[in-house]
Amino acid sequence: MTQINRRTLLKGAATLPAAAALTGVASPTLAAGHTATPGAALYSAPLGRYRITALLDGIAPLGRGFFFGSEAIDPLMEQIGIGPDALPAPVSAFLLQSDERTILIDAGMGEQELLGPGFGGLIPGLAAAGVTPDDVDMVVLTHAHPDHLGGLIRGSDAVFKNAELALGEVEAGFWTDEAMMAQAPDEAKGMFQLAQTVLGAYGDRVTRIADGAEAAPGLSMMLSPGHTPGHSIVRIDGGDRQLLMIADTLASADVHTALPDVGFGFDSDPAQAAESRRRVFDMVSADKTLVAGSHIHFPGFGRILADGEAYRYVPTTWM
Ligand SMILES: [Zn+2]
């Protein structure tokens, strides 16, 4: 059995600022003073058989303290003109619509307060797109961190009552492994509890997807571990246009393209995450693949190009 301890679960956690202490995870009730729910922010474009819409759930107050492992981080941040506490990252989800399907990729933070209040923009965003939670027939989950699955529940009830919940089988296996949870440090147990609450809320509508398999037509999940043990990226083949939703392959489009080996505080295995990051970046830069990311500058669509030993992110919009 794989041994797990603080270092193998959240190797970078020692660097996390106090505001992100994991003890704050998994408070399933709406906190008092949670008044900063953002309104609708969305961007929509055609993607072959699907229409894709980026939906902003909120902004994560990341800063210098979340990144570690290179002396080049400070000079980089100075070069691009951002202060040490000013590296905010959007938390985005993506809606895919066709004549037959209404699919959500990830569901934002919802009521979870891991990174403070101010999340929950997903539902107003869906409403602005003309979609109610009951219209959603599938949620594809890239990984089981609170900023991706928190929005799947309200209290301990499913928000998307008619949706199948698809996630990678490695990820599902990890967060439901009682032995893993027992060995996890106390401050990480909340993440296991939250993941299990969400999977419990969707019950027999949870589908575990094998590496490389399709969750829906033209929508396949590929294991890309390191951020979490079963972190997956999602290839969307719309027919005449393809897109790779790379989820948390990068936590910052500024830092992780210039310095792809830099560790991030929420990576379960920063070295493996860096390996996966370079593999994905090499793949998408060679093919000039359109990418979308959960924490790339909203709406989060662009291309990652090779730039010497590192990479460069180029945002794109299309109609
Ligand atoms: Zn994330």
Q: How far is the CA of 214 from the centre of ligand 1 (A)?
A: 22
Q: How far is the CA of 227 from the centre of ligand 1 (A)?
A: 9
Q: Where do the DSSP E strands lie in 148-218?
A: 153-154, 157-158, 164-168, 206-209, 214-216
Q: How far is the CA of 216 from the centre of ligand 1 (A)?
A: 22
| 53 located within any domain | yes
Task: Identify how many contiguous H helices and E strands the chain contains and give both numbers.
Answer: 9, 18
Q: What is the chain's mean pLDDT, rounded? A: 89
| 3 located within any domain | no
Q: How far is the CA of 62 from the centre of ligand 1 (A)?
A: 11
Q: What are the residues whose beta carbon lies below 5 Å from ligand 1 (ion)?
A: 147, 248, 294
Residues for the chain: how many in total? 319
> Rounded to 5 degrees, what are φ and ψ at 114?
-50, -40
pLDDT at 29 (0 to 100): 31
Whether residue 209 has pLDDT greater than 80 = yes
Q: How far is the CA of 145 from the centre of ligand 1 (A)?
A: 6
pLDDT at 18 (0 to 100): 41
Mean pLDDT over residues 151-162, rounded?
A: 97
What residue type is 77 in one-letter code? M
Cα separation, 281 vs 219, in Å, equals: 20
Q: How far is the CA of 113 from the centre of ligand 1 (A)?
A: 13
Q: How far is the CA of 152 from the centre of ligand 1 (A)?
A: 14
| 32 located within any domain | no
| 31 located within any domain | no
| 30 located within any domain | no
Question: Which CATH number covers residue 70?
Answer: 3.60.15.10
Q: Report residue 16's pLDDT band, with 50, 70 and 90 as the boundaries.
A: low
pLDDT at 213 (0 to 100): 98
Mean pLDDT over residues 259-287, rounded?
A: 97
Q: What percent of the chain has pLDDT over 90?
A: 76
Give me the number of domains the chain comprises.
Answer: 1
Q: How far is the CA of 105 from the centre of ligand 1 (A)?
A: 12
Its domain, for residue 276, covers 9-19+40-315
Q: How far is the CA of 217 from the centre of ligand 1 (A)?
A: 25
pLDDT at 85 (0 to 100): 72
Whether residue 311 has pLDDT greater than 70 = yes
Whether residue 48 has pLDDT greater than 90 = yes
- Between 240 and 270, where is the model more confident? 270
Q: What does DSSP assign to residue 132?
A: -
Q: How far is the CA of 307 from the centre of ligand 1 (A)?
A: 25
Q: How far is the CA of 148 from the centre of ligand 1 (A)?
A: 6
- pLDDT tens profile 52-67: 999 999 999 888 889 9
| 80 located within any domain | yes
Q: How far is the CA of 294 from the centre of ligand 1 (A)?
A: 6
Q: How far is the CA of 182 from the centre of ligand 1 (A)?
A: 24
Q: How far is the CA of 125 from the centre of ligand 1 (A)?
A: 18
Q: Report residue 195's pLDDT band, with 50, 70 and 90 as the boundaries.
A: very high
Mean pLDDT over residues 69-90, rounded?
A: 86
| 27 located within any domain | no
- pLDDT tens profile 100-145: 999 999 999 999 888 888 899 999 999 999 999 999 999 999 999 9
pLDDT at 10 (0 to 100): 55
Cα separation, 6 vs 17, in Å, equals: 16
Q: What percent of the chain has pLDDT over 70?
A: 88
Task: Write the CB contacts of 242 (distance below 8 Å, at least 6 apart in sequence).
Answer: 48, 235, 236, 289, 290
Q: How far is the CA of 90 from the centre of ligand 1 (A)?
A: 9
Q: How far is the CA of 91 from the centre of ligand 1 (A)?
A: 7
| 2 located within any domain | no
